[in-house]
């Protein structure tokens, strides 16, 4: 007899319209849909066509009307400012309504775009919800983005108004946002009519008369705005993700399907109930912050936690344990890199012993591949389920996971478990043919994708088709490589760009990283393919050692080469690795493997806009030059 997961997955596949219509009934609709799925203009599919709704109403007002206005909706925990603030659903709704009124007073109407360029404070959450309340389309740009990158987004989104923080806080320093915003507006061809500036006491930014207005003052005097009904197929937000050409792609998220998918996911994937505290340790600038700091927990009636701090250094590697204990968090969602950082600083999890985590149920990891060594370390330290799950900015919610609210399946280390109900995932070879179970290929999702996934790119239907649909007609190309085994478990090995060709053998750098990460002295690692005159490409490893390691580096590197040879074989041609102090990453924790590869091959590269610390790239180059890499002819 099929288990509960198999039953739910089969039901979603057999009757997707019936499945999602049932999920949608849990929410409030101003007007019901004419059709659950409008498939009249493929590949542009529309969920809940004809329906009207309001996402902010479903996140806040709906719960107040159900008698839950005094439930805590948002907890703000900032170890960098030593601040904790809590907001009931009623308090948060009232602040959002006043801010929405301030936006209307500045002329913002339904369909207008608003760019949000803010630090990790409650006001950023309020800004997103205020836009949703009046039908404006928000586009959050990560606070501290370089002026040129912000300017490209201003020119693409053409916002009527920009909401900005005066500054952000990073690793003991103040990052002044307002001067960066002023430079970006000067560079951009499109000029917003006004800016609302949230002034933080650490830095009070200069104000341009006639254009800039004080966030607090304007909100205080504005009348509260009511919710404005929008089409379910109207955009809620546009979130820019870097394109391979360097031109950002604006991922569109529609109101109706988005709130249905996210509401369903909180219970069925994350196993979290209304009133429980859920923490996504991310940033509102990324899709995780949109989906699982702001919208999903609030729509589902959970308490969401907004954390302005780091996994280590604010003040130590016990920071996450303190937050979980203090706020009674039942589920944490973070990036594997956060746990690698904790493991590096506190290899034996000694700091964990100071805290009571008996109420904590589940750790979810996503953002990049969760290597088995990190997963095992977290399992041993916590004694709780550690769930690797996989999704993308474009999908907006998980594609593969161990669905904790449906049926807890056995864990296979290295796999984000099974495909989430609603998705139909295939693995194809380069000619578009299905591969055998266990064979690596291109991971694709059959169209139409479920609600919540991107329907297109902002003002760029052709770019949408070219970027995602052209290579495998009828499928969305994830750009990830991997395989599905005989049990239906999916393994995401690397981006397709990270499959390297060594003397005709297609090899996954992710598989090699898995081997390196298993070494007891390695805290973090990355493998890239570098040019080789004989073999075309050969793998080059980068490793960060755990704190307190005393063994000679040369010995560790010899052991790593031998490990890869034993577990993958001589075919991998893995002969060289370098010890580095740290790996270059985006601010969301993704390792910049492509940039590292270009440095090694002495190619020109564009400084990634999202890089956490550009100085790391110089350090990488210095380490590589004695090995014969990073040298220009």
Taken in order 398, 402, 405, 406, is the CA torsion positive or negative? positive
Q: Are 89 and 97 in contact (CB under 8 A)?
A: no
Average pLDDT of span 585-595: 81
| CA–CA gap between residue 49 and residue 303 (Å, rounded) | 30
**Assigned architecture for domain 4-309+389-482:** 3-Layer(aba) Sandwich (3.40)
Burial bucket for residue 299 (CB in 10 Å: 0-12, 13-18, 19+): buried
pTM of the model as a whole? 0.85
On the question of a common fold for 4-309+389-482 and 503-627, the answer reads no
Average pLDDT score, the chain: 93
List, as one string, the DSSP characters of 281-337: -S-TTSHHIIIIIIIHHHHTT-EEEEE-S-SSSSSSTTHHHHHHHHHTEEEEEE-HH
Q: Are 414 and 372 in contact (CB under 8 A)?
A: yes
Half-sphere exposure in the Cβ direction for 325 (13 Å, CA): 13
**Crossing angle of helices 509-517 and 553-567, rounded to 10°:** 130
| Residues 6 or more apart whose Cβ sits within 8 Å of residue 296 | 262, 263, 265, 266, 397
- Tell me, what's the pLDDT at 611? 75
Tell me the pLDDT band of 246, cut-offs 50, 70 and 90: low
Which two tokens mark 580? Answer: 């580095």
Average pLDDT of span 169-181: 90
- Residues comprising the chain, all counted: 633
- Tell me, what's the pLDDT at 499? 66
> Quick count: other Cβ atoms within 10 Å of Cβ 12?
20
DSSP 8-state assignment for residue 189: S
The backbone region for 466, taken as left when phi is positive above 0, alpha when psi lies in -120 to 50, beta otherwise, is alpha
Q: What is the 3-state secondary structure (H, E, C) of 96-165?
A: HHHHHHHHHHCCCCCCCEEEEECCCCHHHHHHHHHHHHHCCEEEECCCCCCHHHHHHHHHHHCCCEEEEE
**Crossing angle of helices 16-24 and 4-14, rounded to 10°:** 110
| CA–CA gap between residue 472 and residue 442 (Å, rounded) | 10
Average pLDDT of span 110-136: 98
Burial bucket for residue 292 (CB in 10 Å: 0-12, 13-18, 19+): buried
Give the distance from CA 606 to its chain's centroid: 22
Burial bucket for residue 619 (CB in 10 Å: 0-12, 13-18, 19+): middle
Tell me the pLDDT band of 585, cut-offs 50, 70 and 90: confident
- Tell me, what's the pLDDT at 244? 45
CA nearest to 443, candidates 525, 516, 369: 369
Q: What is the pLDDT of residues 251-294, one digit of tens each?
A: 999 999 999 999 999 999 999 999 999 999 999 988 999 999 99
Which two tokens mark 284? Answer: 């509102």
Q: What is the pLDDT of residues 326-375, one digit of tens each?
A: 999 999 999 888 998 899 999 999 999 999 999 999 999 998 778 888 99
Which two tokens mark 301? Answer: 């009636």
Which two tokens mark 223? Answer: 């009348």
Task: Give the SS3 label for residue 89.
Answer: helix
| CA–CA gap between residue 328 and residue 228 (Å, rounded) | 35
Q: Are 306 and 293 in contact (CB under 8 A)?
A: yes
Comparing 533 with 317, the larger pLDDT belongs to: 317
Per-position b or e across 511-520, b if 16+ CB within 10 A of its CB: bbbbbbbbbe
Comparing 507 with 313, the larger pLDDT belongs to: 313
Q: What spatial distance separates the first Cα and last Cα of the chain, rounded to whole Å?
A: 65
- Tell me, what's the pLDDT at 248? 77
- Tell me, what's the pLDDT at 369? 76
Instruction: Evaluate if residue 501 carries a pLDDT over 90.
Output: no
Q: Are 510 and 493 in contact (CB under 8 A)?
A: yes
Residue 425 dihedral angles phi and psi, to the nearest 5°: -105, 135
Give the distance from CA 167 to its chain's centroid: 22
Tell me the pLDDT band of 245, cut-offs 50, 70 and 90: very low
| CA–CA gap between residue 608 and residue 631 (Å, rounded) | 21
CA nearest to 70, candidates 233, 264, 303, 350: 303
Q: Give rounded-to-5 percent helix, strand, coil for the chain.
A: 35, 25, 40
Q: What value, to the nearest 5°, has the Cα angle with vertex 497 and ends 494 and 503?
A: 95
Query: Which CATH superfamily hosts domain 503-627?
Result: ANL, C-terminal domain (3.30.300.30)
| CA–CA gap between residue 543 and residue 567 (Å, rounded) | 18
Instruction: Evaluate if residue 619 carries a pLDDT over 70.
Output: yes
> Where exactly are the structural domains of the chain?
4-309+389-482, 503-627
């Amino acid at each position: 007899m099929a288990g509960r997961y198999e039953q739910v997955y089969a039901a979603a596949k057999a009757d997707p319209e019936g499945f999602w219509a049932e999920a949608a009934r849990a929410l409030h609709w101003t007007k019901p849909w004419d059709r659950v799925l409008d498939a009249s203009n493929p590949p542009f599919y529309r969920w809940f066509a004809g329906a009207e709704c309001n996402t902010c109403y479903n996140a806040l007002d709906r719960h107040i009307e159900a008698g839950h206005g005094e439930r805590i909706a948002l907890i703000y925990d900032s170890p960098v400012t030593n601040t904790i603030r809590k907001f009931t659903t009623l308090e948060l709704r009232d602040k959002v309504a006043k801010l929405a009124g301030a936006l209307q007073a500045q002329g913002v109407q339904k369909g207008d775009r608003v760019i949000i360029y803010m630090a990790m404070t409650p006001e950023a959450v309020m800004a997103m919800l205020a836009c949703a309340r009046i039908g404006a389309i928000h586009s959050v740009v990560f606070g501290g983005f370089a002026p040129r990158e912000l300017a490209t987004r201003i020119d693409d989104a053409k916002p009527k108004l920009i909401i900005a923080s005066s500054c952000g806080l990073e690793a003991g320093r103040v990052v002044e946002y307002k001067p960066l915003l002023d430079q970006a507006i000067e560079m951009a061809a499109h000029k917003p009519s006004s800016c609302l500036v949230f002034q933080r006491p650490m830095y009070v930014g200069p104000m341009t008369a006639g254009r800039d207005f004080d966030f607090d003052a304007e909100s205080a005097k504005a009348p509260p705005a009511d919710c404005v009904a929008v089409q379910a197929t109207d955009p809620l937000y546009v979130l820019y993700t870097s394109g391979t050409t360097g031109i950002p792609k604006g991922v569109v998220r529609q109101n109706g399907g988005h709130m249905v998918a996210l509401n369903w996911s909180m219970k069925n994937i994350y196993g979290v109930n209304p009133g429980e505290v859920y923490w996504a340790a991310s940033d509102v600038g990324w899709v995780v912050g949109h989906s699982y700091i702001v919208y999903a927990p609030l729509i589902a009636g959970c308490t969401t936690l907004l954390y302005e701090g780091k996994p280590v250094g604010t003040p130590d590697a016990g920071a996450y344990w303190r937050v979980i204990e203090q706020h009674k968090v039942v589920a944490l969602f973070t990036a594997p890199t956060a746990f690698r950082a904790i493991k590096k600083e506190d290899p034996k999890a000694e700091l964990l012993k100071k805290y009571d985590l008996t109420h904590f149920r589940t750790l979810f990891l996503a953002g990049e591949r969760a290597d088995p060594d990190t997963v095992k370390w977290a399992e041993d330290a916590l004694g709780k389920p550690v769930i690797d799950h996989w999704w993308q900015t474009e999908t907006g919610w998980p594609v593969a996971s161990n669905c904790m609210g449906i049926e807890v399946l056995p864990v296979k280390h290295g796999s984000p478990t099974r495909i989430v109900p609603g998705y139909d995932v295939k693995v194809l070879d380069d000619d578009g043919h299905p591969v055998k179970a266990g064979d690596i290929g291109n991971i694709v999702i059959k169209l139409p994708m479920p609600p919540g996934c991107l329907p297109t790119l902002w003002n760029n239907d052709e770019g949408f088709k070219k970027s995602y649909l052209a290579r495998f007609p009828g499928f969305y190309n994830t750009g990830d490589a991997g395989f599905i085994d005989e049990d239906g478990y999916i393994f995401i090995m690397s981006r397709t760009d990270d499959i390297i060709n060594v003397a005709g053998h297609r090899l996954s750098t992710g598989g090699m990283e898995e081997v390196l990460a298993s070494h007891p002295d390695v805290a973090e690692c990355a493998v890239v393919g570098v040019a080789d005159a004989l073999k075309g490409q050969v793998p080059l490893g980068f490793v960060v050692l755990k704190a307190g390691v005393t063994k000679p580096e040369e010995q560790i590197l010899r052991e790593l080469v031998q490990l890869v040879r034993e577990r993958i074989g001589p075919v991998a041609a893995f002969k060289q690795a370098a010890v580095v102090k740290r790996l270059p990453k985006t601010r969301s924790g993704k390792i910049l493997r492509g940039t590292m590869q270009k440095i090694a091959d002495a190619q020109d590269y564009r400084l990634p806009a999202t890089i956490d610390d550009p100085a790391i790239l110089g350090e990488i180059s210095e380490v590589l030059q004695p090995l014969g890499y990073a040298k220009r002819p």
